[in-house]
Amino acid sequence: MPESTRPPGPKGSLITGSLNEFHEAPLRFLEDNARLYGDVVGFRFFHMPAVQLNHPDDVRQVFMNAEGAFVKGMAQESFRPLVGKGLLLNEGEPHKRQRRMMAPAFHRQRVMGYAEVMLEEAARARDAWAESPDGLDLADALNRLTLRIAARTLFGADLSLAESDEVAAAVAAFAQWYHQTSHPLGPLLQLLPSATNRRFHDGKRRLSAVVSRMITARRLSGDTGDILSMLVFARDEEGDGAAMSDEHIHDEVTTLLVAGHETTAATLAWAFWLLAAHPEVTARLQAQLDEVLGDRPPQAADLPRLTLCDQVFAETLRLYPSAMALPRQAVKPVTFGAYTFAPGTLILAAAWCAHRDPRFWDEPLSFRPERFTAEASAGRPRFAYFPFGGGARVCIGEAFAKMEGSLLLATLLQRFTPERLSDTAPIPETLFTLRPKGGLPVRLQRRTLIRSE
Ligand code: HEM
């Protein structure tokens, strides 16, 4: 790209470009870029040209592009060793075929059918937590809860404590490994006999064993109608009628298991922090729960009236989007504003910045769930908010996550009031998803339920 047509952006160092700044403090890097250089920010990681997009119109172009100008490509290759050919990284026709096959399991109607398991697991966790609320590691407990829900709803698997430990340890090891190896020297670092590499491979082996057990169980049980059955018994109707390979089934199951719990758990953890820091919002939410439910447990049919649970989840994802920036790679020349970028350019659609842009959000740093009422949302550009991405590769689990988020908030906040253990907000850790670093400084205070008439 000739220097004169380069968009403004940080120069970075001669060899690595801006990689170190991004790697060390990605949120600050994105924020500084948006503040100093505007909507389209150019820089490079080593030799690779990169562009950060902060404006909804440019973000729309990436997600709604009909010409196939963007792929995940290099941009998300670091996930490959964990999720292989699973939906998250698959491209082109094979992606379309897999997505078509798996979509029915995530349709709104079908997702409603998962509510019972979500509520049962939430109630079980709530009762266990009520026994010993002190010393509870809430972020970790939420992680285990959403993991159990994903395993039961999607794969009909009732994970043992040991198995959830295996999955949790594998994901934690992967997050560390991902952080250390997700840059252009990554493939090289992955070959070194480091402790991080060892932990990751060990974790992956154990996770793989859990996944294999689930697949074997479904082969033995026959088709139970869940997504695991779809994968195990699928035949390519439009192609040669072949079944999916074992390796591919394994990759899809791992993808869903990992993508299907970490993000929701991290979002709920942030929601508990935000509610603890804003007791007035918690009080309004609990008043709505009391009004709609009295002392009976929530059900999926109550969701249309539990509007505040939905709004709190949405506002939490605005402030703490699990995917702070969504990466792509251009495979054709692409233009943003006055600048044209060559194929190969890395694109970062910066959710972290668009979600906090005062042009689209009044007092963007304030926690205000009412931003997500239908009236307040009308007129806001679609891509001022994209915690689930958009277009053909929008999160397949969006409806699942939203329903789970609302049902878990309703079940838990009916019984508990979150309280801050510290006045300082936790620092977001950007290892894999955006998680509160070092756990959540929140305790759960039991509340007395009102009696229904
Ligand atoms: C709050 C919860 C969640 C958030 C914030 C979230 C976020 C995202 C985002 C941003 C993407 C798009 C990535 C991109 O375009 O580069 C994505 C894709 C995906 N998500 Fe989620 N997700 C959540 C929950 C879930 C759940 C519950 C599942 C499954 C049960 C799931 C499965 C997937 C899969 C399989 C993809 C890849 C889709 C494709 O490329 O076709 N996610 N998610």
How much distance in Å is there from the Cα of 123 to the middle of ligand 1?
A: 25
* 275 inside domain: yes
Q: What is the mean pLDDT of residues 132-160?
A: 90
Distance CA 264, CA 365 (A): 21
Q: At what angle do helices 398-415 and 279-293 cross, to 10 degrees?
A: 90
Question: Position of tokens 């400084």?
Answer: 441
How much distance in Å is there from the Cα of 413 to the middle of ligand 1?
A: 25
Q: What is the pLDDT of residues 405-425, one digit of tens each?
A: 999 999 999 999 999 999 899
Question: Position of tokens 């929601």?
Answer: 271
Domain harbouring 45, CATH code: 1.10.630.10
Domain that holds residue 427: 3-446
Which residue did the predictor score with more confidence, 407 or 379?
407
* 453 inside domain: no
Using alpha carbons, select from 157, 161, 121 the residue that is nearest to residue 142: 121
166: which 2 tokens?
Answer: 């295996």
Q: Which atom of ligand 1 is nearest to the CA of 392?
A: 41
Distances (CA, A) of 435 to 140, 142, 162, 245, 431: 11, 12, 23, 34, 8
Q: Is the CB of 102 inside a 6 Å radius of any atom of ligand 1?
A: no
Q: What is the pLDDT of residues 260-308, one digit of tens each?
A: 999 999 999 999 999 999 999 999 999 999 999 999 999 999 999 999 9
Q: What is the mean pLDDT of residues 156-179?
A: 85
Q: Which of 52-61, 253-262, 427-436 has the highest mean pLDDT?
A: 52-61
* 452 inside domain: no
Q: Is the CB of 387 inside a 6 Å radius of any atom of ligand 1?
A: yes
Using alpha carbons, select from 412, 436, 433, 432 the residue that is nearest to residue 424: 436
Q: Is the CB of 16 inside a 6 Å radius of any atom of ligand 1?
A: no
- The total number of structural domains in the chain stands at 1
* 272 inside domain: yes
Distance CA 189, CA 191 (A): 5
How much distance in Å is there from the Cα of 227 to the middle of ligand 1?
A: 16
* 151 inside domain: yes
Residue nearest to atom 30 of ligand 1 (CA): 260
Distance CA 234, CA 76 (A): 27
Q: What is the pLDDT of residue 239?
A: 65
Q: What is the pLDDT of residue 450?
A: 54
* 268 inside domain: yes
Q: At what angle do helices 279-293 and 307-319 cross, to 10 degrees?
A: 150
Using alpha carbons, select from 137, 139, 124, 120 the residue that is nearest to residue 264: 139
pLDDT surpasses 50 at 452: no
Q: Does residue 407 sit in helix, strand or coil?
A: helix
pLDDT surpasses 50 at 453: no
Q: Does residue 394 sit in helix, strand or coil?
A: coil
Q: What is the pLDDT of residue 4?
A: 45
Distance CA 402, CA 35 (A): 31
Q: What is the mean pLDDT of residues 56-82?
A: 89
Q: What is the pLDDT of residue 177?
A: 83
Reported pTM: 0.94
pLDDT surpasses 60 at 78: yes
Q: What is the mean pLDDT of residues 10-36?
A: 94
Residue 354 contacts residue 323 (beta carbons within 8 Å): no
Q: What is the pLDDT of residue 2?
A: 45
Q: Which helix (H) or strand (E) holds 444?
A: strand 442-446
Q: Does residue 420 sit in helix, strand or coil?
A: strand
